[in-house]
Homo-oligomer: A and B are copies of this chain.
Amino acid sequence: MHSPKRVLFLDLVLTLFRLNGLLIAEGDAMTKGLGLTHARWKVIGAIALSSAGLTVPGIARVLGQSRQAVQRITDVMVADGILVYTENPKHKRSALVTLSERGQETYTLLREVQDPWAIRNTEDIPTEELETTLRLVRRLIKKLN
Contacts and interface: CB of A to CB of B under 8 A. Distances in A.
Interface in A74-131: 114-115, 118-119, 121-123, 125, 127, 129-131
Contact of A11 (B3, B19, B134, B140): B134
Interface string A20-46: 111111100000000000000010011
Main secondary structure of the interface of A (DSSP, over half): helix
Nearest to A38: B17
B22 A20 contact: no
Interface residues of A, number: 57
A62 B17 CA distance: 8
Nearest to A130: B8
A129 B132 contact: yes
A17 B70 CA distance: 14
Contacts of A23: 13, 16-17, 144
Given A8-B130, A19-B64, A21-B65, 8 more contacts: A10-B49, A10-B118, A12-B133, A16-B16, A18-B63, A22-B64, A22-B141, A132-B132
